[in-house]
Amino acid sequence: MIRRMSHTCFYVLDQERAKRFYADKLGFEVRADVRMGDAFEGAGEGFRWLTVSPPDQPDVEIILADAAMGNDEATAAQIRALVAKGAMGTGVLETDDVQKSYEELSARGVVFIQEPEQRPYGVEALLRDDSGNWFSLVQRTAGGPA
């Protein structure tokens, strides 16, 4: 029986740059940063297992994956192109105060593609990571969807 989700994967264009973005700009914590051995497919020096998560949510890790992980080069190139284009909306980040988070993250250099706006479910802003992935940053209102 499946009990919970423990990991999810975001493809990034450069793992080291993504690590700095998620840790330094978004305030996530690095949970794992390990080079796997040569035995793993698609990596001459082994692939890098890099995970982060919000500080208050250590039980869910986000894998910041190189597109080559588990993919042939043609597929990896297609994934990289989609990520860079911003075609990969990856998730929803929740905050208690979107306006305050928007101001703090903007000051750290996070690029927003939509300023905070009132929605039926709360207040929402849209941001991009350093690879092109976009996220909804949401402050839910009482009675909004869970």
Structure tokens at 21: 């973005």
pTM: 0.88
Per-residue pLDDT tens digits for 117-146: 999 999 999 999 999 999 999 999 876 555
pLDDT for res 141: 86
pLDDT for res 144: 56
- Domains assigned to the chain: 7-140 (3.10.180.10)
CA 132, 141, 118 angle in degrees (round to 5)? 55
Round to whole Å and give the CA distance between 101 and 22.
14
134 and 125 Cβ atoms separated by less than 8 Å: no
Strand, coil or helix: 28: coil
pLDDT for res 70: 86
Strand, coil or helix: 85: helix
pLDDT, mean over the chain: 91
Per-residue pLDDT tens digits for 38-84: 655 554 556 899 999 999 999 999 999 999 988 999 999 999 999 99
21 and 129 Cβ atoms separated by less than 8 Å: yes
- pLDDT confidence of 89, banded at 50, 70, 90? confident
pLDDT mean over 18-44: 84
Residue with tokens 């940053």: 137
pLDDT for res 38: 61
Round to whole Å and give the CA distance between 111 and 134.
10
